[in-house]
Amino acid sequence: MKDIYIYLENGTFLKAKSFGAEGTEVGEIVFNTSMTGYQEIATDPSYAGQFVTFTAPEIGNVGVNENDNESTKVHCKGVFARAYNDDYSNFRGEKSFSELLKENGTLGICDIDTRYLTKMLRDSGAMMMIASTEIDNIEELKLLLDSSPRIEDINYIEQVSTTQSYIHKNGAWNMSTMSYNKAVMSDKKVVVVDFGVKRNILNELVEAGLEVEVVPSSFQAEDLIQRYESNEIGGIFLSNGPGDPLTLSNEKIEVQKLIEKNIPMFAICLGHQMLSIAHGHDTYKLKFGQHGGNHPVKNSKNVVEITAQNHNYNVPDSIANIAELTHINLFDNTIEGVKYKNKPIFSVQHHPEASPGPHESKYIFKEFADSIK
């Protein structure tokens, strides 16, 4: 393992070991509290532009495999691990985590105190950083970091969204057959606007009985409205994605056009935030975000669900003026879900597809399917 050097914008300078690709990368550092799922996290498009600090101490011990990818590649800038294990042991493992990172040009950083990093981010908030296997001079690293654009200045949606429309036919994972359930013919078709959609979200939409077509983030609202009015599609889903939603000015205009037509819509994470912005209620940035698989959320029936989270931005309390609050985060009382008044539109901030257990939120996909004619 080569040495790798890390400089954070608060002046912290660290040295560690590299187990991924070599090079120099700039991004925002966050921490994730999930105890499993490092492959799913690394391949989640919502992490584009970020370094992810794993709080689980042992990373790599089950390897990786094609079926657990949430997209076609690794999207984060790099990952931090307290201890990395290159020798994996899992009957489903196909290669090591370091091989996956190297194939995708992603930095892997280990032999570092991730508890120290997590506490720093908890106290100081998410921040920009630079990591390099090539540069060991603190002043040079600082100069490069200071001259690089911040994550909120970059439209990562353009990098992670599909460029061509396609049909998704896989349903939920079937452990008994070690494969995905295939879609059955459905007369309920929805369009997924891809801001960086996770594969398992598409799987759950199919599993709920929907025919799923995925379109680029550069969609034209007029096209979708025409297809809805001609009964070709019955609804629209706005996906998760990376970056600051306030930078998506063109997408905001298109979503506003969809809202005006009262088309049934469901959204998760960034899509949830886009609906809020399109309704005139701008999002705000959380101190260190919510990233993990153990967040308790109370729904409108006063039932507590355990949810997976991955977001740095949140919708404001003012959204309650135009929407019913359906989900609240019990860690910090932030808004986790809304249903807009007098409209067939609802959304959640958390990820109901992620299966954190034991009481989950997958029923939301069925509710969306039931709302589609």
- How far is it, in rounded angstroms, from Cα 76 to Cα 44? 8
Structure-block tokens of residue 204: 């759950």
φ and ψ at residue 149, rounded to 5 degrees: -65, 150
Distance between CA atoms of 247 and 214, rounded to whole angstroms? 22
Using DSSP, state whether 372 is helix, strand or coil.
coil
Concatenated DSSP letters for 350-363? SBTTS---SS--TH
Spatial distance between the Cα atoms of 193 and 293, rounded to a whole number of angstroms? 25
Q: Which of 28, 40, 336, 353 is catalytic?
A: 353
State the maximum Cα–Cα separation within the chain, in Å, rounded to a whole number.
62
A 10 A CB-CB count for 82 gives 19
Nearest-angstrom CA–CA distance, 360 and 234: 26
Query: How does DSSP assign 94-122, residue by residue?
Result: -B-HHHHHHHTT-EEEESS-HHHHHHHHH
Q: Is 76 among the catalytic positions?
A: no
* 3-class SS shares of the chain: helix, strand, coil, % to 5: 25, 30, 40
Active-site residue flag, 269? yes
Q: CA 117, CA 111: separation in Å to the nearest integer?
A: 12
What are the tokens at 320?
């309650």
For 351, counting Cβ atoms within 10 Å of its Cβ (0-12 exposed, 13-18 middle, 19+ buried), the class is: buried
Whether the CA torsion 140, 146, 147, 151 is positive or negative: it is: positive
Instruction: Give the up-direction half-sphere exposure of residue 159: CA atoms within 13 A in the CB hemisphere.
Output: 15
Q: Which of 40, 110, 269, 327 is catalytic?
A: 269
Residue 99: active-site member: no
* CA 59 to the chain's CA centroid: 20
CA distance 316 to 52: 26
Q: What angle do CA 340, 329, 321 make, to 5 degrees?
A: 30
Q: Which residues participate in catalysis according to the annotation? A: 269, 351, 353
